[in-house]
Structure 1
Amino acid sequence: MNQNDLLNMRYATITEARTDMYKMLEARPANYSLDAPLYNDPHMFRVDMEEIFQKEWLFVGMTSEIPKRGDYITVEIGQNPVLIIRDADGSVNAFHNTCRHRGSRICTEHRGKVANLVCPYHQWTYDLKGNLLFAGTEMGDSFEKQKHGLKKAHCKNAGGFIFVSLAEEAPQGDFDEFLATLDEYMAPYDVENTKLAAESNMYERANWKLVLENNRECYHCAGSHPELLNTLLEWDDTNDPRAPQDFLDHYAAQAAKWDAEGIPHEHKSYGPGRRNRIVRMPLKKGVKVMTIDGGEGCKKLMGNIQNPELGSMRILHLPNSWNHMQSDHFIVFRVLPISAQESMVTTKWFVHKDAVEGVDYDPERLRQVWDATNDQDRILGEQNQLGINSIGYQPGPYSETYEFGVMNFLEWYSETIKKNLSK
């Protein structure tokens, strides 16, 4: 299949798109970007939604966002509204946010608190475990409430992170092993005793894969992210082929302090393309956290942390999240696709729950670096999308030294799509 064939394709049906997607991924060189339809075709996007976002585990939020009974958050996974709520016994549940009467969304706000879940359309009422409590006498004496509870989505949480899957059967593999590591590595942060300090939702006119590709390399950082590079060392880990000796020495000195404090830091990764990955990396010498000047972001350190120069523990979860855990605050990122050429990037900043805004932390100071970086990345992603839409685009080569993270991501994406299409 040559480039002219790809450029002239017009998919009449989703079946054609699924067949051609498999062929494209099977034929692609591992060190080249994807064919244009995989970044901009609506039918290909639908396959992504069906085979990735409606089947795989997705990061949706943090448990400390819903600390008490009846607290909830909602997310939109394509055309699938999802509700995540804390029930009376403290469990976190996920449901399809659609009433079993006539399908209306039940919770219409981004976050909130309820005693029970009441559909605003006809007041059908559910408890916090999704059981139908009230449907009115209008349904007749033969109506069976127990058969009309909310439809559940698979939900797991570890280390304060909440993941959902919309698949009929929960995805298997090494996800539980990753969750166990996440519990261990997040223990020092005591996430249940944190709170949301700030949040941004950024609309980006770019395919979700371009958002992830941009995140998975720092090749572009020197030319695009001056605020971020005030504090961040671009090396991906100690095995990064670009890492100089002075960085390795700095890492060793910091690792000794982490060991003394009992802070886990060994690199852990799971799945094809290092899909789930945790690594703690130092920031620049003398830097505490990723603020504009490297100084403290919050006067209260998190959990049982004592060392303000803890570096950043980077957590990756494909397909939709990367995160930075630091000594006095942490930052989580979530990507959700909107269309073939639109994405929503959500960023949230968390601090100790006892920290007082305006006294212990300033939300604008916390946000400054990543607000700038996110917007810079938005522009890069949107320009990337516009170039790919051109008839002059053809897949280009990745640097195996600087862009190995992008290659890892596309390895995972390709293998996951092909596996799911083969079922």
Structure 2
Amino acid sequence: MNSKASVVGLINKRKARHALPRELYIDPDVYRADLEHIWHTDWVFAGHTFEIEKPGQYFTLQIGDYPVAVVMGKDGKVRAFHNACRHRGAKVCEQAQGKVAKMVCPYHKWTFELDGSLLFAGNMGSDFDKTQYGLKTVHCEIVHTYIYVCVAETAPDFDSFRSSVSPFIAPHFLDNCKVAFESNLIEKGNWKLVFENNRECFHCDGTHPELMNSFVENLSVAGVGGEDDPELAMHWDRCERAGMPSRLVMDPNGRFRMTRIPLSAGAVSYTMDGKPAVAGRLDQSGEENIGALLYFNYPSTWNHFLGDHALSFRVLPIGPGETLVTTKWLVPKTAVEGVDYDLDRLTKVWLATNDQDRKLVEGTHAGVSSPTYEPGPFSDIAENGVCQFDDWYCETMLTRLQGPIALRSVS
């Protein structure tokens, strides 16, 4: 397959307000193009600063072809590095997370300072200049504990996202949080199917009984809009009077969105009874029912913020038909398990929901892999969100493959 021309041709074959052609989900060359033009180009959510608060703490992730290590320095600065030794390329930080005094390559013990500079390289001779062989850096930005990295040589703008999302996250005081639980789920499906599934709750009533005890999809903000929904406008007004920005903000190019939505009547958290899962609050608004703050930032994350806890979700592609979904439950740093929260109560809804979504994604990937698959139309009522994601994907790929265009079918 001539990947560039063929990807352009496949995208141009897509009918407006229809799902993507089969090959865009399953073809290995399309997957390579996705890596090159999206994952190796854009900002990717890596993790939270409170996961690496002490010098030498690190975590690792794989962004397409690039192994990356995110490290807290002695100076209190978070840095990201290409996790490949400058000697013969072995991973320097081998574990998913850990703590070290120095970063030491396990192969030949090349030793790097926490700022990436090379300290020791044995048997390299007197004329070896170690200043030329520090770890290669990865672009790294932080917004209210969210660490974003970009493996491209030149990173795209981050400030527009930072200025948009910051007012929404700031009132939740994530600097005072910790990870109560983390789940890592490998879904046997293409990363685009994972995000498509997330961007609509058309399927929720029949699939997510646990989630539907508290969550109500608001179709007014599934794609764009919401100003004409009186119930939503009342919720926004009430939350904003309490200092919690709520009205829909969306990137003109469709890459990110923030908004706050009400939960079902009487529910204030994602629990089986809708009551709080954690004693105490993340916010200081004084408003008991702030609903749920939802924010996504393509291609790698969606997030839910409640009054008592928050959830961050990270999506990373593993292959054309495999995606890693990482979920973290965030609670106040002072909260004590068994005293301030019960772990099963805190995690039950989304552990069940994630596994149900996994089955849906895997079944869909198997179905779109069939040679008989033909893309069907999206609902004008319930699938504006998934259409918005597919529009963003197609427009982004075409722009990067052949220059700017005007494609989006949701205005």
- Smaller-chain TM-score bracket: over 0.9
1:171 maps to which residue? 156
Q: Distance in 1 between matches of 2:37 and 2:224?
A: 34
Aligned to 2:235: 254
Shift of 1:240: 7.1
Match of 1:156 among 136, 141, 157: 141
Pair 303,145 (structure 1): closer, same or farther in 2 beyond 3 Å: farther
Tell me if 1:352 matches 2:332.
Answer: yes
**Residue in 2 that maps onto 1:372:** 352
Shift of 1:385: 0.9
Is residue 233 from structure 1 mapped to residue 233 from structure 2 by the alignment? no
User: Partners of 1:360 and 1:150 in 2: how far apart?
Assistant: 42
Higher mean alpha-carbon deviation, 300-309 vs 260-269, is at 300-309
Written as runs of structure 1 = structure 2, the 5 A alignment for 1:281-300 is 281-300=261-280
Gaps of 5+ in 2: 404-411
Report the TM-score, using the length of structure 1 for normalisation.
0.91
Cα distance change on mapping 1:326 and 1:105 into 2, 3 Å: same
Q: CA deviation at 1:238?
A: 5.7
Note the aligned Cα RMSD (angstroms).
Answer: 1.9
Is contact 2:226–2:232 with CA below 8 Å preserved after alignment?
no
For the pair 1:66 / 2:46, whether they are aligned, the reply is no
Q: Which residue of 1 aligns with 2:31?
A: 45
Using structure 2 for the length normalisation, give the TM-score.
0.93
**Helix, strand or coil at the partner of 2:29:** helix
Aligned residue type for 1:147: Q
How far off its partner does 1:257 sit?
A: 3.4
Q: Does 1:276 align with 2:261?
A: no
Q: Distance in 1 between matches of 2:238 and 2:374?
A: 48
Q: Is this contact kept in 2: 1:237–1:281, CA < 8 A?
A: no
The C-alpha deviation readout for 1:243-280, integer Å capped at 9, x for no partner, is 899xx4543443343233211112111142x2111101
Can you list the C-alpha shifts for 1:27-58, whole angstroms capped at 9, x where unaligned? 32221111111111112111111111111111
Structure 1: runs of 5 or more not aligned = 1-10
Change (3 A) 1:350 1:118: same
1:6 is matched with none
2:105 aligned partner:
119
8 Å contact 2:236–2:247 — kept in the other structure? no
Partner of residue 135, structure 1? 121
**Cα distance, 1:359 vs structure 2:** 0.4
Matches of 1:125 and 1:364, distance apart in 2: 42
Q: Matches of residues 386-401 of structure 1 in structure 2 within 5 Å? A: 386-401=366-381
Q: SS of 2:10's equivalent? A: helix
Distance verdict in 2 for CA 1:35–1:239, change over 3 Å: closer
1:21 maps to which residue? 7
Take 1:253 and 1:268, find their aligned partners in 2: how far apart are those partners?
17
CA separation in 2, counterparts of 1:339 and 1:24?
A: 19
1:310-321 aligned at under 5 Å gives the runs 310-321=290-301
Aligned to 1:8: none
C-alpha separation in 1, matches of 2:340 and 2:235: 26
CA distance in 2, matches of 1:104, 1:166: 18
